[in-house]
């Protein structure tokens, strides 16, 4: 065989080996896609993972003895707490005392002659009554007097109303906002519920107009919350899609975006609708902010931080998520990675339970979390040599190593969270709502939703009763004309009826 023929065979062999490796990679990718689809259809969406080194799982029982060991006995004394006298024997919780009671006497169906009544047995059942409407009547006296020689009728002015010349009061306007954006009920369903349960009907158009008027009044509070949040030292940011009809589109929807900003230190949540998801849109929403921005691994956030000279912090939950997805592909190493990350969350839990301030939490992190984090990064670096970059585990490791500086920001500042799970929790009402109302009828409608989600999200972040807050604020705002409203912000509001 000539040298030329041998070289040709060797060349062909190398080409075939390359094709075989490419086909193996393709098969592996398709298997991973199939596993992902199976999980979406049949599997659980939870990211909770039982550790493989869990003490209960790894418990070494040894040889079980054939006969039980001899038990030693000891006499002890103790003090026992006497159970409450009014506690029910079945262990169910009592109906709260503030709930009104309606007594229903039960007469005996037997002869009680000669008997003495010594006690009563009371059985309580919780009942439900549909909501009720009532009408407020503003009664203004009309006086007759002589002005400039003419008989004139005068009457005191009405106080500023939530809807001028409208028949719906602030509590009904508040209900339209709560139904739509906290209970996720479209307006037409709200109209159906009122017609069914309240012996009256309110047209859907009237409910929609009341919602618009309520949002118009609340816009000033949303803008003031934005001003305060942008002065914070630390903001979390994320975005989510929402379908919007942009006219004229013959009924077709456009995938718009709700951008969410969360200032954890000030407990402010901001929603803002934008038509697209671009770097310029993000920079516009952060105009005037100088601090640390925490986000997921989307590519546009590093560019935003670079242009605005912000400190960029990453999210450990997103880094962890890749290893959780890799469990079906490389369970041993993916499980090991999750075990390496787990102590970081244990440290955060300890800091929360002890209610640590930022300085103490940073000291605890540097003592406990720093060695764990750097050991995790070192392990990820070691695994790169024998992993396919496109494999689930390879993608997870590359995600972490490419963002190791951003993911480690929590070791530099005690105010920064380990992950941005707080802002993801704030997005949930939007995710649930769009499953019910499916889309918004216009971009203006999407902006009104953003204002409502801002107010409701901030109320929830501050532990407020949304209904009590809206009932008071919607009655008060017409008198303020968006001036001196700081005491009406959810971060400052005090319930006057408390």
The full 3-state SS of 232-257, as one line of letters, equals CCEEEEEEEEEEEECCCCCCCEEEEE
Bond before 248 cis per omega within 30 degrees: yes
- pTM here? 0.81
Q: Distance between CA 203 and CA 196 in Å, rounded? A: 13
Helix 466-480 to helix 204-229 angle (10° resolution) is 80
pLDDT at 391: 85
Whole-angstrom CA distances from 265 to 163, 190, 236, 416 are 35, 36, 11, 10
pLDDT at 33: 73
The stretches in the chain having pLDDT less than 50 are 54-68
pLDDT at 46: 57
Q: Distance between CA 179 and CA 297 in Å, rounded? A: 34
Residue 311 forms beta bridges with which residues? 292
Asked if 364 contacts 347 with a C-beta cutoff of 8 angstroms, the reply is yes
10 Å CB burial of residue 380 (0-12, 13-18, 19+) is buried
pLDDT at 81: 62
Cα angle 12, 15, 19 (rounded to 5 degrees) comes to: 135
pLDDT at 17: 82
Can you read off the two tokens belonging to residue 410? 């929590």
pLDDT at 242: 92
Q: Distance between CA 395 and CA 106 in Å, rounded? A: 70
Q: Distance between CA 401 and CA 404 in Å, rounded? A: 5
Q: Distance between CA 184 and CA 116 in Å, rounded? A: 56
Hey, how many other C-beta atoms are within 10 angstroms of the C-beta on 395? 18
In angstroms, how far is the first alpha carbon of the chain from the final one? 99
Asked if 84 contacts 93 with a C-beta cutoff of 8 angstroms, the reply is no
pLDDT at 58: 38
Residue located via tokens 């003031």: 224
Residue 132 makes CB contacts below 8 A (sequence gap 6+) with 198
Can you read off the two tokens belonging to residue 310? 């912000």
Q: Distance between CA 176 and CA 190 in Å, rounded? A: 8
Asked if 473 contacts 221 with a C-beta cutoff of 8 angstroms, the reply is yes
Residue 66 makes CB contacts below 8 A (sequence gap 6+) with none
Hey, how many other C-beta atoms are within 10 angstroms of the C-beta on 486? 11
Compute, in degrees rounded to 10, the torsion defined by CA atoms 201, 207, 209, 211: 160
Please compute Rg for the chain using Cα positions. 32
Whole-angstrom CA distances from 434 to 105, 176, 212, 244 are 49, 16, 18, 11
Q: Distance between CA 435 and CA 430 in Å, rounded? A: 9
Sheet arrangement for strand 234-245: 268-274, 253-263, 234-245, 292-294, 311-313
């Amino acid at each position: 065989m000539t040298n030329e023929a041998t070289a040709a065979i060797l060349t062909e062999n190398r080409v075939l080996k390359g094709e075989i490796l490419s086909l193996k990679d393709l098969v592996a990718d398709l298997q991973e896609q199939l596993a992902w689809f199976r999980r979406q259809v049949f599997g659980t969406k939870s990211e909770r993972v039982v550790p493989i080194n869990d003490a209960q799982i790894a418990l070494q029982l040894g040889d079980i003895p054939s006969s039980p060991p001899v038990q030693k006995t000891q006499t002890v004394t103790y003090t026992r707490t006497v159970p409450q006298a009014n506690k029910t024997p079945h262990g169910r919780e009592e109906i709260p005392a503030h709930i009104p009671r309606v007594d229903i006497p039960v007469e005996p169906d037997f002869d009680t002659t000669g008997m003495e009544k010594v006690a009563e047995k009371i059985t309580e059942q919780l009942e439900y009554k549909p909501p009720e409407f009532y009408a407020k009547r503003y009664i203004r006296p009309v006086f007759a007097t002589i002005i400039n020689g003419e008989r004139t009728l005068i009457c005191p002015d009405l106080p500023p109303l939530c809807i001028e010349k409208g028949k719906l009061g602030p509590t009904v306007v508040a209900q339209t906002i709560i139904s739509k954006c906290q209970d996720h009920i479209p307006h037409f369903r709200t109209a159906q519920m009122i017609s069914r349960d309240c012996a009256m009907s309110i047209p859907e158009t009237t409910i929609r107009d009341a919602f618009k008027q309520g949002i118009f009044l609340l816009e000033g509070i949303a803008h003031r919350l934005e001003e305060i949040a942008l002065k914070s030292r630390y903001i979390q940011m994320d975005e989510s899609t929402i379908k919007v009809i942009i006219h004229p589109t013959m009924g077709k929807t456009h995938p718009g975006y709700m951008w969410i900003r969360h200032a954890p230190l000030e407990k402010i949540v901001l929603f803002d609708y934008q038509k697209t998801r671009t770097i310029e849109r993000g920079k516009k929403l952060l105009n005037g902010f100088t601090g640390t921005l925490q986000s997921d691994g989307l590519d546009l956030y590093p560019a935003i931080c670079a242009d605005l000279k912000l400190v960029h912090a990453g999210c450990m939950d997103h880094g962890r998520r890749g290893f959780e997805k890799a469990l079906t592909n490389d369970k041993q190493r993916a499980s090991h990675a999750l075990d390496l990350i787990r102590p970081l969350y244990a440290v955060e839990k300890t800091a929360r339970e002890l209610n640590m301030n930022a300085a103490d939490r940073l000291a605890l992190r540097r003592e406990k979390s720093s060695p764990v984090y750097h050991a995790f990064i070192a392990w990820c670096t070691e695994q790169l040599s024998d992993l396919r970059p496109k494999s689930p585990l390879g993608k997870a490791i590359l995600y972490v190593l490419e963002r190791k500086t951003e993911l480690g920001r929590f070791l530099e500042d005690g105010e920064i969270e380990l992950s941005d799970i707080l802002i993801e929790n704030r997005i949930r009402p939007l995710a649930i709502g769009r499953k019910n109302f499916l889309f918004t009828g216009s971009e203006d409608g999407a902006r009104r939703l953003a204002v409502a989600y801002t107010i409701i999200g901030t109320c929830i972040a501050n532990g407020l009763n949304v209904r009590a807050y809206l009932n008071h604020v919607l009655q008060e705002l017409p008198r303020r004309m968006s001036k001196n409203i700081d005491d009406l912000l959810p971060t400052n509001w005090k319930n006057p009826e408390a």
